[in-house]
Amino acid sequence: MKRWQLWLGVLVSAFSLWLALRGLQLDQVWRSIRQANYLWLIPSVLTYFVAVWARTWRWEYMLRPLKHIPLRRLFPVVVIGYMGNNVYPLRAGEVLRSYVLRRQEGVAMSASLATVIVERVFDGLVMLVFVFAALPLAPLPSEVIRSLVILASAAFFGAMIVFFALAAAPQRALRLAGWVSQRFLPARTRRPFLEFTGRFLDGLESLRSFRNVLMIFFTSIVIWLLETVKYWFVMHAFDFQVSFFALMLMNGVVNLATTLPSAPGYVGTFDAPGIAVLVLYGVEEAVAGAYTLVLHAALWLPITLLGFVYMLREQLGWSDFRRATQVAEQEVAA
């Protein structure tokens, strides 16, 4: 991990955490946390793992053109990846996930990383759908939320257009890559670059069928609706009520914000927008802060603990994080 990227994430998280905590009366936040009914966390965690299983099914569906992998073998790989996202900055768990898949199933990292990137693009598009569906029913949003939605819309729709274009015309994309390599790359790197490009385009094969695109998009909606149900269960642990559409808006805004560089676990980038959306709906600031912090912990802790268990079972160590990055860089730079 490049040091400047790490420090950028730390700075973004520090600023976001300052935004989240400023003006909060921490004694009242702590009182709300202590008075919460934590029995509601049980169905929330179960719902979240159903969503993780749905994520596994979506990834298995996208990997089928490369290799058919049973869900029971793929589920631990997904959990390890999400655990990596929680303990390493800049979503390093996505690289770890592809590394573990390469080690266990022999799927090239460049190809599986293409599917992971497509997943993130579809997730972003679904978050925008949630935001656009909920905004007409919401109080007037802040300038920060409007700016975030505009920037995210441009980024995710732009990325989707690029990926559809690459998937629709892979041979043309390879010819373009050949032209680029001939014009701008040293002779020794041209062949590795073209091989990497070919494997990456293989990972986009699921986008070449309209039926596949619909299935991926539908599954993505199911995944994020399940995660919003988790938000709904955790809400019942606290003394406030907002509509399901309000929680959809919170889910969308929060997850768009977590695409920004941040410290491990999305510290600050999850909390500041979450509190802001709830306050927008009239929730008392201390209660909104307590709910968001508990929700963040309920999303972070169970998947992280299970990821550690699977890491031990698969005989993975912390050095494998570094090795995953090295292997990915080798596939890119040969």
- The reported pLDDT for the residue numbered 238 is 97
pLDDT in tens, 18-74: 988 888 899 999 999 999 999 999 999 999 999 999 999 999 998 988 899 999 999
Instruction: Return the higher-pLDDT residue of 232 and 190.
Output: 232
Quick check: 301 pLDDT over 80?
yes
Average pLDDT of span 82-106: 87
Q: Tokens 């629709």 correspond to what residue?
A: 168
Which tokens belong to 153? 């819309």
- C-alpha dihedral sign at 217, 215, 95, 294: positive
Mean pLDDT of the chain: 85
pLDDT band with cut points at 50, 70 and 90 for residue 288: very high
* Dihedral angle over CA of 195, 199, 204, 208, nearest 10: 80
Contacts of 192 (CB under 8 A, 6+ apart): 333, 334
pLDDT band with cut points at 50, 70 and 90 for residue 171: confident
Quick check: 141 pLDDT over 80?
no
pLDDT in tens, 216-262: 889 999 999 999 999 999 999 999 999 999 999 999 989 988 888 88
Average pLDDT of span 182-205: 71
- The reported pLDDT for the residue numbered 51 is 97
- The reported pLDDT for the residue numbered 206 is 72
- The reported pLDDT for the residue numbered 142 is 61
- The reported pLDDT for the residue numbered 139 is 78
Instruction: Return the higher-pLDDT residue of 309 and 21.
Output: 309
pLDDT in tens, 253-285: 899 888 888 888 899 999 999 999 999 899 999
With CA atoms as reference, report the closest residue to 266 among 17, 3, 2, 4: 17
Instruction: Return the higher-pLDDT residue of 88 and 201.
Output: 88
pLDDT band with cut points at 50, 70 and 90 for residue 153: confident
pLDDT band with cut points at 50, 70 and 90 for residue 196: low
Average pLDDT of span 126-149: 75
- The reported pLDDT for the residue numbered 140 is 62
The answer to which of 153-157, 222-226, 245-249, 323-327 has the lowest mean pLDDT is 323-327
Instruction: Return the higher-pLDDT residue of 165 and 25.
Output: 25
- The reported pLDDT for the residue numbered 329 is 60
Q: 107-110 long-range CB contacts below 8 Å, 24 or more apart?
A: 107/63, 107/66, 107/67, 107/69, 108/66, 108/199, 108/202, 108/331, 109/327, 109/328, 109/331, 110/196, 110/199, 110/200, 110/203, 110/331, 110/332
- The reported pLDDT for the residue numbered 23 is 80
Instruction: Return the higher-pLDDT residue of 169 and 276.
Output: 276
- The reported pLDDT for the residue numbered 243 is 94
- The reported pLDDT for the residue numbered 20 is 86
